[in-house]
Amino acid sequence: MTTLQWLETPCRQGVSWGVPWPRGTVAEGTHFALTDGTPVQSWTTATWPDGSIKWSAHAIGPSEHPESSYELVPGQEPTTPSTPVRVERTADGVRATTGQVTWTLTKPLLIASIVDNDQEVVRDVRLVSIRQDAPDEDLTRNRQQTTAIVDNIIVEQDGPVRAVIKLDGKHGDWLPFSVRLYFYAGATDVRIVHSFIWDGEPDRDFLAGLGLSADVAMRDEPHNRHIRLAGPSGFLTEAVRGLTGLRRDPGEEVRRAQVAGREVEDIPNPEVSDRLHLIPQWNDYTLDQSSADGFTLRKRTGSEHAWVTIPAGTRSPGYGYVGGVSGGLGFGLRDFWKLHPTRLDIRNAATDVATATVWMWSPSAPAMDVRYWHDGMDQDSYAEQLEGLEITYEDYEPGFGNAHGIARTHELTLRVHDTTPSADDLAEHVALLNSPGLLAAAPARFLEAGVFGSWSLPTADDQDIEARLNFLFQYYVGQREDRRWYGFWDYGDVMHTYDRDRHTWRYDVGGYAWDNSELSPDLWLWYQFLRTGRADVFRFAEAMTRHTGEVDVFHLGRWKGLGSRHNVQHWGCSCKQVRISSALYRRFYYYLTADERTGDLMDELAAVEETLLVVDPQRKVRPDVYSPDPHALSVELGVDWGALAAAWLTRWERYGDERARARLVGTMADIAAMHYGFLTGNGRLDLSTGRFDTSRRGIAVSHLSSLFGLPEICSELIDLDLDVPGFEKAWLDYCRIYLATPEEQTAEVGHPLQGIALVQAHSRLAAYAAARTGDAELARLAWRKFFVGDGDQLYRSALQRETDWKTTHVNGALMPVEEAAFVSTNSASQYALAAIQNLSLIPEHRNIPEHRNIPEHP
Quick: pLDDT tens for 683-740: 999 999 999 999 998 999 999 999 999 999 999 999 999 999 999 999 999 999 999 9
**Can you list the alpha helix ranges (DSSP code H) found in 361-462?**
382-392, 423-434, 443-449
Strand partners, 2: 72
Distance CA 533, CA 526 (A): 10
Q: Which residue ranges in the chain fall short of pLDDT 70? A: 848-858
List the domain boundaries for the chain.
2-74, 456-851
DSSP 578: H
Which of 39, 163, 23 shows the shortest CA–CA distance to 31? 39
SS3 assignment, position 242: coil
Q: Are 415 and 329 in contact (CB under 8 A)?
A: yes
The secondary structure element, H or E, covering residue 206 is: strand 206-217
Task: Identify the pLDDT of residue 853.
Answer: 53
Type of residue numbered 415: R
Burial grade of 431 (CB within 10 A; 0-12, 13-18, 19 or more)? middle
Q: CA dist 296 to 157, 227, 290, Å?
A: 40, 16, 8
Q: What is the pLDDT of residues 557-567, one digit of tens each?
A: 999 999 999 99
CA distance 761 to 738: 11
Cα 491 to Cα 337, 484, 544, 555, 705, distances in angstroms: 10, 9, 8, 19, 28
Distance CA 180, CA 160 (A): 17
Angstrom CA distances, 360 to 181, 189, 286, 353, 412, stand at 17, 19, 14, 23, 10
Distinct helix (H) and strand (E) counts, the chain: 20, 37
Distance CA 47, CA 655 (A): 8
**Does CATH number 1.50.10 belong to domain 456-851?**
yes
pLDDT value of residue 852: 46
Maximal C-alpha separation, the chain? 102
Q: Distance of CA 59 to CAs 16, 19, 80, Å?
A: 4, 11, 12
